[in-house]
Structures are given as C-alpha cells and as structure tokens.
Structure 1
C-alpha cells in the first residue's frame, strides 16, 4: 500500500475508532430536544453539551433537527462530513466525540453504515445540528461494541453537526490528457487492477514525475484534506503489480490526509493541486517512495514505482 500509517476510519464503526472526550459548558443557544430524556445545549459550530436521562427507551429510530442549516440538502448517496457525539442510551454516558479529533466522512451509500444514519441524515441541510435516537438494531446491531461498552440491547443517541457533503465518483471523470512520450502506459480494466506497461529502453527518472491522464472538473485537492482514491501500483522495471485497491472489492478505495505523511512522499507531493475526477500517473523513485529499505517482498530498495491514481473525492 502507498501508506506509511494506518489511519483510515471505518465508516461501519464510526464511534469505535474515535477518542473519548468530555463536553464543556456552553451558552444554551441550541433549542432543547423533544426526544424524551435528551437535552442538547451549546453554541453553533462549537461542541455541544449532551445530557441524557437514562435509561432511554427507543422503540423506533427517530431524529429531530435542533438548528437547521442553510446549505444544500444531503442526498442518500453523498459522502457527508460531520461532527458527532455518541451517548449510550442505557446509562447516559458520553462515550465518543469527534470534536477533539476533527470531522469524519461517512459514505451514506455504504451498505455497512449504521441504518440510523442512512435513514435520518438524507434530506437534512448542511449546517444542521440534529439528534438521532437509534434502536440497537439500527446502530451497532447484534454484536454491540465491546470497546465502547455498548451491548446489543443498548439504544444509542447521536448528536450530529452536518459540516459538508460531496459526491463520490466511481472512477476518474474528465478530459483525457495526452501523456508525454517515454512514460509508462496505463490500461484500465473494469473491476480489476490497471495494466501498467513500462516504456522500453527508458531509464527510470531520478525525480518524481506527475502526469495527468484525465483532468477532472472538481476542486483541486489541498493539504490537510482527506482524499479518497482508487489506485494500482506497479514496478517500473517490469510492470508487475504489487498493490491495487481493485483487489479489495469490499472497499475498492483508499483514504488518507494529504500532506501529513500518511503516505509516501511521492503521493503527498504528486497529488497536491490535482483536481477531483482526475486520473494521475505517478512515477516515483526510491527517495520519494520506500527508500533504500524497500517494502515487503516485492519492492526493492532500488525500485522506482508507478501508480495510476483516480481521485474520487476530497473533503
């Protein structure tokens, strides 16, 4: 994989990978919740205080808009970014919050996402603060979440601030770009790794080469954004594929924060400024890849790497 650190948040376990935080006192500017036993107070765009009079009985999943945003309405296939506080409805304890760790992105089209999110978030406007009272089945389901102390019988209260939403592409979309001569060629194979063919008789470059193959129409990606990509990586010396997101059909994409060292240097520098929807050819020498130590059994310390990267979303 192109990453150096394991940092991808599983959308099927929103709270399980987050840090525990407390809730500070805020001015009570958020309207009170009409969901029985739940009180939310706090200023807009700041961490709210959530108080739950437990145990909360939730016979069906329901939600309430506390403050309505003025942005576009979220659709059922958006990737929505949000801040979230999770409370165990059985004992009223706040068990996770994203307010100290930053927003998370949830793909509402993901079949593994909580049913309570999939049913309650679509249609709400960006900028909205809302509360969801979820049945156990519509949250952690039959397994519960042992790490968080949530059993299969515990209802869950979510307080969400909807920060943004974007569409997620299935593949690169845009205008084809004629690559410079002497570069490896890329042939896309639906549902399979791309075929990468090295240029015959051409020495590997000493500096990273960035060549758009398709120029997307989306916004240019910036440092600090979370970028979702699909990719295939191959060795420059023989075109052997050593990794591809297509080999993981249950999640045929990869996410990372750009410019924070979560991936090899050639990715951080080569993808910055490229537009969402683009397909980018990266030819990366060892100094911008895995260095003299190489990686795994296939990548030697002298290997130049070739990646075909589709930028599917950024948030």
Structure 2
C-alpha cells in the first residue's frame, strides 16, 4: 500500500521499532524489583525451542515499574533460534483488548554483550495497534492488563546479522480507537473532489473538473472534538488516496485496519495540512506535486501527480 511517508521511523530509532523490524512477539508485566520470566507450562517437541525457553528463564530483569529496566543475560553471547515470549509480572490496570492502541516503553539488549541496543525510555514510547499482524505479541497481550511488563527474544534474522536480541517492555496505556471520524459536518466549497461516505464511513471520491490546484488545499469535511494535532505526534488514521483525475490508488478501509505515522515523517502536504486539525476530524487534502512526491514516480503514482487524500484522524499521541 502506498503510504504518505517520505521516511518511516528508523529501524533502530526505538526499541519496539528495532524488534518490529525483526519479527514481533511478546509477553507482559513486572512490578517487582527483581523478576525472571517463567517458562511456559506448554511442552514442546522442538529441542531448540525447549533450550530457548530455558535460556529465557535465566534472564534477570530488575527495576521499578515506569523506569527503564536493567536486563541481565545469563551468559554472553546470548543466542536463541526461536522467538520466546513470556510474562514477567501482570499489570494492574484496565484489561487490554484486541484492536486497541498500545503505548509501550521498552528496552532491547544485544545478545552479543548484553548492551542496550535501543530504548524508548530515552526517546518516546512506541505506539502500536494490537492486531493479528503483531503475531505472538497480540496473542500474549490480549487479556493482560495495563502495566504488564513482558520479555521476548528475537533470533538472528540473516547471515549478515547473526545477533539475537532480548526485549523487555511495559504497557503504559491501552486506548480504544474509533473506526471513523465523528463531529460536526462541514460543507466544502464547489470545485473540489466530492466525497461520499458509506454506512461504515468508507469514502468514495468523485473527481473534480478543471485544472488541479497548484497550492495545498486543506478542507475539513468533519470537525472533530479532540485536541489539535501537533507536529511531533504519531497519528492513527484511516485514509483514502486517489489522483486528481479520480484514479484510485489505495485505501486503509480496504485493508480493514488504520495506519500509523509519525507526522514528521510524512509528505509535506500531510505535515502542513494536518497540524492544528482536531482529533476526530475528517480532512480532504489536495496535495500538489511539490507537497507530495514531486517529479519522481512512486509505486503506482505517476511523476508530478496531484494527490487527493481523505483522512480520518482517529488518534494522536
């Protein structure tokens, strides 16, 4: 799917970004000062998996809830060949539900020497949607409680990087995200693409006539009641993208799940057009080439295209 990004979060920018880029899975909780993961009671016929379970059980995690934990590996180099996910200590907050947006603080250590490879505690927490795409992380966290701390391993992903990693994370918050914009409808002026919504809020965009505008058009279609979006936030959105001539490009409604972007990583048309819009809004953006992908073709988008986005701002954090 064509995303409105110029550059996504770097794979080593945050702890979860690092491990998401490898293969995601997880586990939860630690409110004690010293905790070690408990191996799963489920036996396995795979000797490698059994060995990895035992290795994870020997990891020690210390530190108070809310603070960056100290992860001590039983030996270095620490190597695993499978992904293992374990609960350290359950949380005490609200129950985590499928499809919620999670705020996660985590630290990742390298199996080579136990050093910290990445940490959100020195940057900003990661924001993810808890759905089936997260694999074992999803399966483990659904039904846990906010405040849970988890440990998981990530085996080497290629011969070029034979490193195993260990992640310890804490679920800071779990928020139920609406599926569509809601608020006060706004009647747009004539001459813009026409947007109609089905019963689920999915937009259909009919092309406008005439020449495409040469400057960015920002037209609210629904004004939400949330806080205004700021430039440094990560947005959770549903969006539809088409070209000025009406050619459909992509839609998160077709994916069946919203998308998430650090607003600062998106095309200029998004950065300029969405800052200040209230969360909950639906915004029509008509993005000229110099605010989009410019003179270069991008996937199915021809060079020098004027882009038409319909964006539902579902959350910002």
Q: TM-score, normalised by structure 1?
A: 0.69
CA RMSD of aligned residues (A): 4.1
Question: 1:274: how far off?
Answer: 1.8
Question: 1:281: how far off?
Answer: 0.5
Structure 1, 214-223 or 35-44: larger mean CA deviation? 35-44
Report what 1:21 is aligned to.
none
Report what 2:181 is aligned to.
172
Pair 1:245 & 2:267 matched: no
Aligned length: 278
Which residue, out of 50, 68, 74, partners 1:53?
74
Q: Is the Cα–Cα contact under 8 Å of residues 106 and 170 in structure 2 kept in the other structure?
A: yes
List runs of 5+ in structure 2 lacking aligned partners: 23-30, 38-56
Which residue, out of 112, 130, 136, partners 2:149?
130
Report what 1:255 is aligned to.
260
Question: 1:93: how far off?
Answer: 4.8
Change (3 A) 1:298 1:92: closer
Between the aligned partners of 2:88 and 2:239, the Cα distance in structure 1 is 40
Q: Is the Cα–Cα contact under 8 Å of residues 194 and 208 in structure 2 kept in the other structure?
A: yes
Question: 1:239: how far off?
Answer: 1.5
Change (3 A) 1:164 1:105: same
Between the aligned partners of 1:243 and 1:102, the Cα distance in structure 2 is 30
Which residue, out of 213, 216, 220, partners 1:208?
216
List runs of 5+ in structure 1 lacking aligned partners: 19-28
Pair 1:82 & 2:84 matched: no
Q: TM-score, normalised by structure 2?
A: 0.69
Question: 1:45: how far off?
Answer: 4.3
Which residue, out of 225, 228, 235, partners 2:236?
228
Q: Is the Cα–Cα contact under 8 Å of residues 180 and 201 in structure 2 kept in the other structure?
A: no
- 1:112 is paired with a residue of what secondary structure? helix
Change (3 A) 1:91 1:266: closer
Question: 1:229: how far off?
Answer: 1.9
Larger proportion of helix: 2
Q: Is the Cα–Cα contact under 8 Å of residues 8 and 255 in structure 1 kept in the other structure?
A: no
